Amino acid sequence: MSSSLILIIIVVAVVGYAIVTYNALVRVRQMVQEAWSGIDVQLKRRADLIPNIVETVKGYAGHEKETLEKVTEMRTRAQSVPAGDVAGRAAAEGMLSQALGRLMAVAEAYPDLKANENFRDLQGTLETLESEIQMARRYYNGSARELNVKVESFPSNLIASQFGFAKADYFELENEADRQTPEVKF
């Protein structure tokens, strides 16, 4: 074999590897974006449910104004986090979860509220949404992990750095208490 043929084979192999690696990075980045979209949809559904819960509780526990205002404030804060700010959104959602937990604890003191069919339906929907958020967060973090491994591993990190692929942030709750699903049983 001539040295020029060997050189061509090596160049083709390197270019082939670069193409395959680039496409794998694009695929994983798209998975991360899809996963984030899933989290965003579930968080939006929860945010849309909160005014109904607040209004229902307000009808029975109107003097719990501070708790109701805190939930509304945390909902607004969570919705105002810029798109793509995973860490900021996680922190805001953690504070919202705490506020919701306090609201549900307040509702415990009102037997008529606990017996209200509308409130029970809202509570069941919230419980389901919290489970779906947890599943979406797990999927997102798995996708982020896969992207991060490819971005940091040699030799794919050479391709990643050349084409601007960056690590994805994990959707984590900083406060250990935030990691718990809000208590919503009655």
In a domain? residue 152 = yes
Q: In this structure, what are the phi and psi dihedrals at residue 163, rounded to the nearest 5 degrees?
A: -110, 15
Task: Return the ∠ at Cα 172 (arms to 169 and 176), rounded to 5°.
Answer: 155
**Residue 186 lies inside a defined structural domain of this protein:** no
Give 78: exposed, middle or buried? Use CB within 10 Å, 0-12, 13-18, 19+: buried
- Give tens-digit pLDDT for 8-54: 999 999 999 999 999 999 999 999 999 999 999 999 999 999 988 88
Q: What is the mean pLDDT of residues 118-137?
A: 90
183 pLDDT tier (thresholds 50, 70, 90): low
Range of the domain at 154: 3-179
State the Cα–Cα distance between residues 87 and 36, nearest whole angstrom: 12
Q: What is the mean pLDDT of the chain?
A: 87
Which pLDDT tens digit goes with each residue over 73-94?
Answer: 999 999 898 888 888 898 999 8
Residue with tokens 């029970």: 120
Residue 186 pLDDT level (bands cut at 50, 70, 90): very low
Has residue 114 got a pLDDT over 80? no
User: The domain spanning residue 65 has which CATH number?
Assistant: 1.20.1440.20
Q: Which residue has the higher pLDDT, 111 or 12?
A: 12
Q: Within a 10 A sphere around the Cβ of 165, how many other Cβ atoms?
A: 20
Q: Which amino acid type is present at position 22? A: Y
**Count of domains for the chain:** 1
Mean pLDDT on 130-142? 94
**Within 13 Å of residue 99, how many CA atoms lie on the same side as its CB?**
25
Would you say residue 184 lies in a domain? no
**Predicted pLDDT at 28:** 97
- pLDDT higher at 179 or 132: 132
**179 to 108, 109, 137, 186: CA distances (angstroms):** 22, 25, 12, 21
pTM of the model: 0.78
DSSP state of 175: S
Distance separating the N- and C-terminal Cα atoms of the chain: 79
The answer, yes or no, to whether residue 166 has pLDDT greater than 90, is yes
Higher pLDDT, 171 or 182: 171
Return the number of other C-beta atoms located less than 10 Å from residue 149's C-beta.
13
